[in-house]
Amino acid sequence: MRYVQLRAFHYVATCGGFSRAADALRLTQPAISDQVRRLEAEFDVILFNRGKKQVVVTQTGARLLEVTRRMFDTEQQAFDLLSHSSGGKRGLLRIIVDSAQHLRTILPAFTRAHPDVRISLSTGNTAQVIEALHGYEADLGIIGDAQPSNAFEYVDLSVTPIVAFVARTHPLASAGAVDFQTVARHPLVLREEGSRTRARIEDAAAACGVTLRPAIEAQGREAVRELVACGAGVGFVSAAEFGDDPRVVALPLADAPHCTMVETLVCLRERSGSVLVAAFLAAARRSGISDGTLASAPTSL
């Protein structure tokens, strides 16, 4: 078993195919296929089920992927450490967020201080962020309404109320404030299952004796925003993520003023000592917390 064989396997598994792995590693597809084939032959195992249009890891492949994720994450940490020691921080920092709005104060300050660090930014709901962190597919994440877990360290970024919002042409646009009974009489555009904002707003409505049933269920906050902006219905979002969009109007919830969302920067506890991760956590603490609330020091999640 050689390093190049494990690397080939890892990239095929994480990229979702041999040609994509070859592109990522700047090698030919036959070379990648040969390295994986040699690894399988040496140990008499099958690591991938090879379909015509899809490559899927086998049960053995999935267990090996857990090992290679840790292996290549450790390699990246070694690279980050040595790069820092040679003068200046450099490398790749992977961040997954529910909304890029939460990075508006941290990211500019961080990139100015560390211009040689590349940032890879992706989006997902809370469940997807946690999955990406556990799978070593991201170094840092931002989630709402963090749940206790000894696996994580965190820095609170903001605490803001959840508000309803509608298109400026919607009948409720001039209401000023609304209650759950009122919004439930209109079509609702809700986030997908796994969204913490959706869970919080459904719980708050249930406490008021109202069941929220979506007319449209949309994947991701931007999809909700576009649907609401075109007049499809009423959506919900934390005030920190409302942004500046002239097409829509925010409506405070009169019967749920304490329905808030705490946005939190999180990382695996075992990754908190990484040079780049630690630098970003420090930048988050220095930038404080948006919307008038002070950031807390990192603690166990």
Per-residue pLDDT tens for 224-255?
Answer: 999 999 999 999 998 888 888 999 999 999 99
Q: Which of 65, 85, 116 is the last residue of a domain?
A: 65
Among 148, 192, 161, 158, residue whose Cα is nearest residue 265? 158
Give just the sign of the alpha carbon dihedral 130, 132, 138, 139: positive
Residue carrying structure tokens 């086998």: 58
If asked whether residues 146 and 278 sit together in one domain, one would say yes
Q: How many CA atoms lie within 13 A of 37 on its CB side?
A: 8
Q: Which of 228, 246, 261 is the last residue of a domain?
A: 261
What is the tens place of the pLDDT at every residue in 275-296? 889 889 998 888 755 433 323 3
CATH number assigned to the domain comprising residue 79: 3.40.190.10
Domain-located, residue 94: yes
Q: Which of 20, 48, 65 is the last residue of a domain?
A: 65
| pTM, 2 dp | 0.60
Domain-located, residue 50: yes
Domain-located, residue 142: yes
The pLDDT of residue 296 = 35
Q: How far apart are CA 201 and CA 163, in angstroms?
A: 9
Kindly tell me the burial class for residue 20, based on how many C-beta atoms sit within 10 Å of its own C-beta (0-12, 13-18, 19 or more). middle
Domain-located, residue 230: yes
Tell me the β-bridge partners of 188.
234
If asked whether residues 121 and 185 sit together in one domain, one would say no
The pLDDT of residue 92 = 86
If asked whether residues 236 and 181 sit together in one domain, one would say yes
What is the tens place of the pLDDT at every residue in 70-122? 888 777 777 666 665 545 567 789 999 987 888 888 898 899 888 888 899 99
If asked whether residues 163 and 253 sit together in one domain, one would say yes
Domain that holds residue 234: 158-261
Number of domains in the chain: 3
If asked whether residues 23 and 115 sit together in one domain, one would say no
CATH number assigned to the domain comprising residue 26: 1.10.10.10
Domain-located, residue 301: no
Domain-located, residue 300: no
pLDDT at 298 over 80: no
Distances (CA, A) of 110 to 87, 267, 283: 17, 17, 6
If asked whether residues 132 and 167 sit together in one domain, one would say no
Q: How far apart are CA 113 and CA 116, in angstroms?
A: 9
Domain-located, residue 298: no
* Residue of 283 and 53 predicted with greater confidence: 283
If asked whether residues 163 and 239 sit together in one domain, one would say yes
Beta pairing, strands 248-251 & 152-167: antiparallel
Domain-located, residue 296: no
179's CB contacts (< 8 A; 6+ apart) are 208, 253, 254, 255
